[in-house]
Amino acid sequence: MSDKSKIILRTVKVGERGQIVIPKDIRDVFDIKSGETLVITGHREKITLMKEDIWKDITLQLMEKLEENQK
């Protein structure tokens, strides 16, 4: 099992300015570097963070599927 297939559950506190700190071990597992852009999404009671390049890949795949379905 690779590190990225593990389920990680942690708590973080939201600071006065709405900032959170992603713990170092999680940054290491997901190879998140300082200054890197993450995408935050929310739906109902759920919030997710995703690396920007992963978000772009998913979005492109979704758009391709939509185009295929329109044919």
- Would you kindly state where each structural domain of the chain is located, as residue ranges? 3-70
Q: What is the pLDDT of residue 70?
A: 86
User: From start to end of the chain, where are the E strands?
Assistant: 38-43, 46-51
Q: What is the pLDDT of residue 20?
A: 94
Tokens of 31: 């190879």
Residue 12 structure tokens: 């973080």
Q: What is the model's pTM?
A: 0.70
Q: What is the pLDDT of residue 63?
A: 94
- pLDDT value, residue 69: 87
Q: What is the pLDDT of residue 2?
A: 58
> What pLDDT is stored for residue 18 in this prediction?
95
Q: For the chain, list residues with pLDDT below 50.
A: 1
Domain 3-70, CATH among 1.10.760.10, 2.60.120.1440, 2.10.260.10, 3.40.50.970: 2.10.260.10
Residues 6+ apart with CB under 8 A from 3: 29
